[in-house]
Amino acid sequence: MEKPTVQLIKVTKKIGKKTIIHDLSFEVPKGEVFGFLGPNGAGKTTTIRMMVGLMRITSGDVLIEGHSITKDFEKAIKHVGAIVENPEMYKYLTGYQNLIHFARMSKGVTPERIQEVIHLVGLENRIHEKVKKYSLGMRQRLGVAQALLHRPSLLILDEPTNGLDPAGIRELRDYLRELAQKENISVVVSSHLLSEMELMCDRIGIIQNGKLVDVRLIKDFVSTGEGEAGRVSFEVDSVERALAALSGSDLQAAAVNGGIELVAVREQIAEANVLLVQAGVKIYGIRPLTKTLEDKFLEMTGSDQIA
Ligand SMILES: Nc1ncnc2c1ncn2[C@@H]1O[C@H](COP(=O)(O)OP(=O)(O)OP(=O)(O)O)[C@@H](O)[C@H]1O
Ligand SMILES: [Mg+2]
């Protein structure tokens, strides 16, 4: 297997007597969008700051393309593009002028590469306007373009969807995925918003109180297994008659939101349907209630309380 772009090995951060990050280990392969998900104060920004060498690691290490960020900073950081705090832009310069400026700061960025990153983030039409006229989403894109100039193999974005509207989030999501594939880079994004991680990432790691609670493929999170019981809701004309119709069976039904819900395997859904129809209950809809990532996340972390 190809070696991962980034590898965290038992990364620990102590500030004073407090351990903020405990023994964090995970790795991200090429072409993957990895989501770093956790409630406020969980330790996402702290971890990212250590990954890009903005903060000292108390123990453990981060390897980027095999180079240690602590022992071989220059070689490691060469492969990283990141937006940790808001990207610094010159507002009175155009987007293009900003990119030229940042291009001068790293070796070997050609005018062709500048055009390429502009195209990658879809800013062609507005790149010659002053940044002060940009919307938040456009600034975000310019930030990503800047972070990509030197062809990093790892792109790290801390809370990239902050302040974006739903359309902006969707666009970001689409081009991050495209980026991961086209440029074959790894992308690490952090967020406390579960619903969008579900759509943006291939895999997520959940962090809580500085500990990695779980790392899983999105598809494993969302789908319920074959033969596994799931909640199903029936939209009916009479909840009372529906419950009465099922009361003789071994199906456990309950009145929820003006309809009924039951926990059933596939066959039992058909069984319930037959019983209801036979009892003369009108059914307007049958809907499986798949657990969202959010449900699973809350189940796992107990709550979204800040520790
Ligand atoms: N310099 C510091 N000194 C002491 N504690 C700190 C310091 N920086 C961060 N912390 C603590 O470390 C924990 C993790 O903070 P961090 O900013 O990494 O969380 P986060 O997951 O990024 O949260 P958010 O979603 O709010 O951005 C918090 O409890 C925070 O108070
Ligand atoms: Mg943060």
43 Cβ below 6 A of ligand 1: yes
Ligand 1 atom 8, closest CA = 46
Structure tokens at 146: 């800047």
Ligand 2 centroid, distance to 77 Cα (angstroms)? 21
Atom of ligand 1 nearest to the CA of 38: 21
Topology of 230-288 in CATH?
Alpha-Beta Plaits (3.30.70)
- CATH architecture group of domain 6-222: 3-Layer(aba) Sandwich (3.40)
Instruction: Please write the tens of the pLDDT for every residue from 112-143.
Output: 999 999 988 889 999 999 999 998 888 888 99
- The DSSP 8-state label assigned to residue 132 in this structure reads G
Give the SS3 label for residue 255.
Answer: strand
Q: CB 14: neighbour CB atoms within 10 A?
A: 12
Which class for 18: exposed (0-12), middle (13-18), buried (19 or more C-beta within 10 A)? exposed
Q: Ligand 1 pocket: which of 37, 44, 57, 83 to mutate (most atoms <8 Å of CB)?
A: 44
* pLDDT at 305 (0 to 100): 53
Question: Residue 260 pairs with which residues in a beta bridge?
Answer: 234, 255
DSSP codes of every residue in 143-199: HHHHHHTT--SEEEESSTTTT--HHHHHHHHHHHHHHHHHS--EEEEEES-HHHHHH
Strand segments (E) across 2-52? 6-15, 18-28, 33-37
Out of 63-67, 93-97, 194-198, pick the least confident: 194-198
**Ligand 1 atom having least distance to the Cα of 42:** 21
- pTM exceeds 0.85 for this model: no
Is residue 44 lining ligand 1, measured as CB closer than 6 Å? yes
Q: Which one, of 86, 89, 85, 108, lies nearest residue 99 by Cα?
A: 89
Query: From residue 80, how far is each of 43, 64, 217 by CA, in Å?
Result: 20, 8, 23
- Among the residue ranges 90-94, 192-196, 247-251, the one predicted with the least confidence is 192-196
Cβ 233 vs Cβ 261: under 8 Å: yes
48 lines ligand 1 (CB under 6 A): no
Q: Which ligand is nearest to the CA of 13?
A: 1
- Exposure on the CB side of residue 59, measured as CA atoms within 13 A: 5
CA of 47 to the centre of ligand 1 (A): 9
Query: Is residue 220's pLDDT more than 90?
Result: no
Q: How far is the CA of 41 from the centre of ligand 1 (A)?
A: 5
Question: Under a CB-based contact definition with an 8 Å cutoff, are residues 73 and 52 in contact?
Answer: no
pLDDT tens digits, one per residue of 36-67: 999 889 999 999 999 999 999 999 999 999 99
CA angle 178, 141, 4 (to 5 degrees): 45
3-state secondary structure of 266: helix
Tell me, using a 6 A CB cutoff, whether residue 45 lines ligand 1.
yes
Task: Give me ligand 2 centre to Cα 205, in Å.
Answer: 15
Residue ranges of the domains in the chain? Answer: 6-222, 230-288
Contacts with 265 (C-beta within 8 Å, 6 or more apart), sequence order: 227, 228, 229, 230
Place of tokens 């790293």: 106
Q: Which residue lies with its CA nearest to atom 7 of ligand 1?
A: 15
Confidence of residue 163 (pLDDT cuts 50, 70, 90): confident
Ligand 1 centre and the CA of 155: distance in Å? 21
CB 20 near ligand 1, within 6 Å: yes
With the most atoms of ligand 1 within 8 angstroms of its CB, the residue from 46, 83, 162, 306 to mutate is 46
- The predicted pLDDT at position 289 comes to 78
